Amino acid sequence: MKYLILIALLFTYPSFSQSFTERDIKTKIEEVTIFVQGGQVTRTGNLDIPKGKSILLAKSLSPHIDEKSIQVKAIGDFTILSVNHKLNYLNTLKKEKKIDSLINQIENLELKISKAESRLQILSEKQSLLDANKNLGGETAGVSLSQMKQAIEFYDQELTQIKTEEIQTGLKIRKLEEQKSRIEQEISLVRDKNELPTSQIEIRVDSKNKTHGKFEITYLVANIGWYPKYDIRVENVEKPLVINYKAEIYQNTGIDWNNVKLKLSNGDPNQSGLAPELETWYLNYARNTIVNRSNYGKITQSVRNMTGQILDENGQALPGASIQVKGTTIGTISDIDGNYSLVLPNGATHLTVSFLGYSSQVIPITSQNITTRLEPDLQSLEEVVVIGYGSSNKLRGKIAGVGIGGNSNLSKEAKIITTTTIENQTTVEFEVDEPYSIKSNGESLSVDLNSFEIETVYEYYAVPKLDKDAFLIARIVNWDQYNLLEGEANLYFEDAYVGRSILDARSLEDTLNISLGRDKSIVIGREKVDEFSKRRTLATNKMESRGYRIIARNKKSQRINLTLFDQIPVSAISDISVTPTELSNGILEEKTGEVSWQLELQPQEQRKLNLNYEVKYPKYEKIILE
């Protein structure tokens, strides 16, 4: 009897008497804010909500949603009871497009194979026809010698042609079969890869009456990002420098974007926002102290341009993989063959490599060519539920991970505006003027952000002891007003591509220096002068002198400013003394031994400079001066 009473109470209690009705809500991606790594997606949708309790399902979303970031804003006379995020393993992100393309290739090959086999059959029938008619003149009629000779020549010619074509057709069929086999193996590899599930967001609502609801859903998603890129153009040193600021965007979310509004932010939500704190520095004897030094810093100082390839676990190329210099905004995307090319900034020690469905890797930079093999991410994706509560007729309040509130402008379409820079409290955003469509295939898309024409001071820089070429340096004053990020730059000088460089926007200097590459019209020479290179002994000391002549010539048709650098040695102990004897009015930095000359060279002008010094040291010791 007590069980019957319990069941009756359950059915009379309101929460059990009313079940949830499931309804699909179709949402569209309206806006994406792309961070250096990751992005925030904004979806909108609306539907009629029946009276009572309902579950509204936003389906076929990216599986890489950060559930803690989900926010829901809505308008309507209803109450949101909860918001859940789940993975749907029944609805997967299939690789149908790639498989369909490969199947089409196989069908074309099979058609060619079929035609070739038909030709072989025709050739066989042709030979059978010849064989059936080779008895000349019948059994009784005699055949002249000339007729027999003509018949033999005809039969030989036709049979040779048939056999030759049969051999060629057979080779063609074999090559087509080999192509077909390779494509079938590729299809097998694609089908064998684990298909990723889709995400869905469940919004549970309760409405007292039939109503209409408008929804805006935002969330963070991985496997997207952008890298700043620059085209730096200088027509000549008499004109301003032009910087074309671009963004290289990639996305591997599994969901295509169709005509969405893009915002590019220099923020990184994956980076910790916690301010660092100093720990106590305990000083001890050297023998009790462990010093942590990286083995890669010295190596990478000499590495500037590097290349490599990204492969999967089977050694196949991975197009669309993201390669980023760790700790910077410099990066690129691998091409269709998995190859990549990067210019490294000073101090770069590691690369971060990532790709959809594979475990990210942090790789030390130990050479100028690095091939990396990624392994599939086998970590199981677990269902995560984020729940929120509301209690009034219209949506109010906040919950952890789910923002709830009203917005009367949700249904308004974004206006098309010119590229605009928005300076927030801690980040800078760029609004792109036109909507873009980006496929989820790893291909990069270049978007123009802005263009600046900047008054610039041009100077030539040379260190003839290390390199005989002169480098053109553009010095930009008050550069921080342009909100630039560190990135790779393509250099164009006098309408010619001259190479790549790094725009070091992390510099704390008031003047930003941009190297525009080598200028072969500035001739630099450095040679040792024997008459100033001598050795002699005085009492307990030796005296050695060295002399060098530096030549700089301007072969250009305009005046230039050239800064030359060289050096004299600096003594590390008191028994060794170094004395400059001739510096041609160069400025000596005594602590470092650096000598600099500021030259103004007219067209076709040549200047000679002398660098002479003398070293004294104990005669029983040896030093190296070369």
Q: What is the pLDDT of residues 252-295, one digit of tens each?
A: 888 888 899 988 887 777 665 556 667 777 665 566 655 554 43
pLDDT over 60 (residue 417): no
Number of residues assigned to the chain: 626
pLDDT of residue 273: 55
pLDDT band at 444 (very low <50, low <70, confident <90, very high): confident
Residue with tokens 């269709």: 336
Report the percent of the chain where pLDDT is more than 90: 18
Is 418 in contact with 430 (CB distance < 8 Å)?
Answer: no
Which residue has better confidence, 447 or 546?
546
pLDDT over 50 (residue 17): no
Q: How far, in Å, are 95, 332, 577, 605 from residue 440 at the CA level? A: 11, 16, 66, 57
Phi and psi at residue 616, in whole multiples of 5°?
-115, 135
Q: How far, in Å, are 104, 108, 167, 176, 182 from residue 111 at the CA level? A: 11, 5, 19, 10, 17
pLDDT of residue 584: 93
pLDDT of residue 304: 66
pLDDT of residue 31: 92
Q: How far, in Å, are 363, 364, 375, 380, 488 from residue 325 at the CA level? A: 10, 10, 20, 28, 11
CA angle 12, 15, 20 (to 5 degrees): 120
pLDDT over 60 (residue 9): no
Q: How far, in Å, are 274, 280, 497 from residue 277 at the CA level? A: 9, 10, 46
pLDDT over 90 (residue 227): no
Instruction: Render pLDDT for 480-520 as a digit per residue (tens, 0 to 9).
Output: 777 778 888 888 888 888 788 888 776 666 778 877 778 88
How large is the average pLDDT for residues 363-391?
Answer: 63
Instruction: Render pLDDT for 114-132 as a digit per residue (tens, 0 to 9).
Output: 888 888 888 787 777 777 7
CATH architecture of the domain with range 523-618: Sandwich (2.60)
pLDDT of residue 423: 61
| Total Cβ atoms within 10 A of residue 131 | 11
pLDDT of residue 601: 92
Taking the domains of the chain in order of start, what are their residue ranges?
Answer: 21-89+197-224+381-429, 96-137+144-192, 523-618
How large is the average pLDDT for residues 540-553?
Answer: 91
pLDDT of residue 567: 93
pLDDT over 50 (residue 397): no
Fill in the amino acid letter for 42.
T
- Characterise 300 by phi-psi region: left (phi > 0), alpha (psi -120 to 50), beta (else): alpha
Instruction: Render pLDDT for 81-94 as a digit per residue (tens, 0 to 9).
Output: 889 888 876 665 55
Is 598 in contact with 563 (CB distance < 8 Å)?
Answer: yes
Cα gap 623→199, rounded to integer Å:
70
Instruction: Render pLDDT for 324-342 as a digit per residue (tens, 0 to 9).
Output: 888 787 888 888 778 888 8
pLDDT of residue 218: 93
pLDDT of residue 387: 34
pLDDT band at 169 (very low <50, low <70, confident <90, very high): confident
pTM of the model: 0.58
